[in-house]
Amino acid sequence: MQARQALWQIAKTGALCAVLGLLLYAVVTAVAEYAVAPWLIGLVLAAPLTAVVGHLVIEALRSGAFPERFGVVLRDTRPLAFWFNVLWFGACGLLLGALAGWCAVRLLGAT
């Protein structure tokens, strides 16, 4: 009976992903007609990622634990891996923020 429930969950997740993917495709297709589309799409994608990555780095610095795919890197036990992750994700967050800012400036200048 558990296998049936697992398959049902997979089917529901697949249907949800298909619907959301089609909705995203429809929105991007509708927006792509406008001249400001590249800047709007860049801003909409980069700004939330900047916030998420920034929050991740700030929480890691505050708590001393950086989450990874298969666990957590602690500042006390693996300092080199911890600081590498903090610096790498911090640099990625800064670059995403610069991209979002650049898109916002171009978007405001184009209107």
Domain assignments of the chain as residue spans, ordered by start: 1-33, 35-110
**Distance linking the first and last C-alpha atoms of the chain:** 58
* pLDDT score recorded for residue 32: 83
The tokens for 96 are 């995403």
Say how far apart CA 47 and CA 107 lie, in whole Å: 14
Mean pLDDT of 71-79: 93
pLDDT digits (tens, 9 = 90+) for 29-50: 888 888 888 888 899 999 999 9
pTM of the predicted model, to two decimals? 0.73
* pLDDT score recorded for residue 29: 86
* pLDDT score recorded for residue 1: 65
Task: Name the most confidently modeled range: 4-8, 71-75, 94-98.
Answer: 94-98
| Numbers of helices and strands, H then E, in the chain | 3, 2
Which is more confident, 98 or 5?
A: 98
